[in-house]
């Protein structure tokens, strides 16, 4: 699954030694969309061999006082959780992206800020994605659920299935039928920007400037106490909280963020699910990524009609590389059942993520579709022309 030559050309023009390693989230709200729909999209770029499953969890009631086991820590459970469909790394409780039965979609991105990343185990950003979907009936409801949990429990912990330390803070794109919110965090602090029309994308960097629509009550006082803001000039969230010496992956992601913005702007006023899929499949920009140890391991596109009488439709690949994957639809209904072919095997207490010390061994988390996709890719590489004489392109 090597990168297309166009991707190499893009990197050379941008003066980059390698493709930027990051996820990308996109949203189009009318009039950015061709129809009266909100369109959400995300590519999840993760370690190359990590398996991403698509799992459906029905709405559920929980006894008062019950506890919830997230990836690393337990937190109090709420009495009612919403039905969700999630695209998630198979080893963790949380999700990279997903939707609930109220037409809410959430995706997250890694980010580093002036606030130190905690070395202790807390809630992963991916846990917060799932918690926001299970507890929020709107984009704002999911945002308030995430920020409340962030303040109570913090964020932190190993973010990949490997003993080598790798942790980060998170930004989120939260979308419903009416609006979108960009939520950017720095430790337990946060700022948010409301988006009501047009197109917007996020990547592995802070993007909120002076247009802060909501914020942590101590956001500005902490920034002033740390000497990051003088308390008098304009408060620009990204300028105040972006690190002075950002990790290389954040610098590389700037080009990718710019490429995503340009693609959205090219289609502003005509965005459809097909357009969003084409953006996620775009290799020259690096959005469809295949670089070193990372690649796009799962992708999602959702169509959220403004007309609440129409169902939301969510498309998932459940396989790596959207340019070589089919986006398969999911619609919430009273008869939604798990599709076991895209659900990974479970290992219970023997799972390396549950043992201490964690991640000392590997298990085979491939689900049936992932295995079939791998086989099809090998067939395409050894026999790129089908029996009809046409090139094989999608699997």
At residue 20, does pLDDT exceed 70? no
At residue 86, does pLDDT exceed 70? yes
pLDDT tens digits for 43-72? 999 999 999 999 999 999 999 999 999 999
CB 196 within 8 A of CB 28: no
Give the pLDDT score at 21. Answer: 53
How many Cβ atoms are within 10 Å of 165's Cβ, its own excluded?
10
The lowest-confidence range among 94-98, 122-126, 292-296 is: 292-296
105 in active site: no
**Is the CATH number of domain 24-376 3.20.20.60?**
no
Tokens of residue 116, six digits = 């130190």
The lowest-confidence range among 210-214, 279-283, 385-389 is: 385-389
CB 203 within 8 A of CB 23: yes
Give the pLDDT score at 18. Answer: 40
Give the pLDDT score at 203. Answer: 92
Give the pLDDT score at 389. Answer: 75
CB 164 within 8 A of CB 90: no
Per-domain residue ranges for the chain?
24-376
pLDDT tens digits for 150-192? 999 999 999 999 999 999 999 999 999 999 999 999 999 999 9
Give the pLDDT score at 22. Answer: 64
Helix (H) and strand (E) counts in the chain: 8, 19
At residue 6, does pLDDT exceed 50? no
In sequence order, what are the beta bridge partners of 315? 301, 329
Residue linked to tokens 């942590």: 216
At residue 238, does pLDDT exceed 60? yes
The lowest-confidence range among 170-179, 218-227, 290-299, 302-311 is: 290-299
- Contacts of the segment 336-342: beta carbons below 8 A, 24+ positions apart: 336/56, 336/58, 336/83, 336/85, 337/56, 338/55, 338/56, 339/54, 339/56, 340/368, 341/367, 341/368, 341/369, 342/53, 342/54, 342/55, 342/316, 342/318, 342/367, 342/368, 342/369, 342/370
At residue 5, does pLDDT exceed 70? no
At residue 267, does pLDDT exceed 70? yes
> Across residues 1-29, what is the average pLDDT?
50
């Amino acid at each position: 699954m090597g990168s297309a030559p166009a991707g190499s050309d893009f990197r050379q023009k941008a003066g980059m030694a390698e493709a930027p390693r990051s996820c990308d989230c996109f949203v189009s709200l009318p009039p950015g969309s061709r129809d009266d729909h909100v369109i959400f999209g995300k590519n999840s770029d993760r370690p190359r061999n990590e398996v991403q499953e698509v799992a459906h969890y029905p709405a559920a009631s929980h006894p008062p006082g019950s506890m919830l086991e997230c990836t690393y820590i337990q937190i109090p459970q709420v009495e009612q959780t919403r039905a969700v469909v999630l695209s998630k790394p198979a080893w963790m409780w949380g999700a990279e992206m997903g939707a609930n039965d109220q037409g809410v979609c959430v995706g997250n991105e890694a980010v580093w800020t002036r606030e130190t990343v905690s070395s202790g185990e807390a809630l992963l950003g991916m846990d917060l994605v799932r918690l926001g979907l299970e507890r929020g009936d709107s984009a704002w409801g999911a945002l308030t659920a995430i920020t409340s949990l962030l303040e109570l429990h913090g964020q932190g912990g190993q973010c990949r299935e490997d003993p080598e330390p790798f942790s980060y803070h998170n930004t989120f794109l939260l979308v419903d039928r009416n609006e979108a919110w960009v939520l950017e965090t720095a430790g337990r602090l946060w700022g948010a920007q409301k988006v009501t029309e047009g197109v917007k994308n996020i990547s592995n960097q802070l993007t909120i400037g002076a247009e802060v629509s909501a914020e942590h009550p101590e956001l500005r006082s902490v920034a002033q106490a740390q000497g990051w803001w003088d308390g008098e000039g304009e408060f620009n969230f990204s300028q105040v909280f972006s690190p002075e010496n950002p990790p290389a992956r954040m610098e590389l992601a700037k080009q990718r963020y710019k490429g995503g913005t340009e693609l959205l702007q090219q289609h502003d006023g005509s965005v459809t699910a097909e357009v969003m899929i084409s953006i996620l499949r775009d290799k020259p920009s690096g959005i469809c990524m295949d670089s070193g140890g990372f690649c796009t391991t799962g992708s999602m596109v959702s169509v959220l009609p403004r007309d609440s009488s129409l169902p939301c439709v969510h498309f998932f690949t459940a396989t790596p590389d959207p340019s070589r994957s089919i986006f398969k639809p999911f619609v919430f209904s009273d008869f939604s059942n798990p599709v076991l072919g895209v659900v990974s095997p479970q290992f219970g207490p023997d799972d390396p993520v549950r043992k201490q010390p964690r991640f000392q061994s590997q298990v085979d988390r491939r689900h049936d579709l992932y295995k079939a996709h791998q086989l099809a890719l090998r067939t395409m590489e050894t026999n790129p022309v089908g029996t009809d004489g046409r090139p094989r392109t999608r699997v």
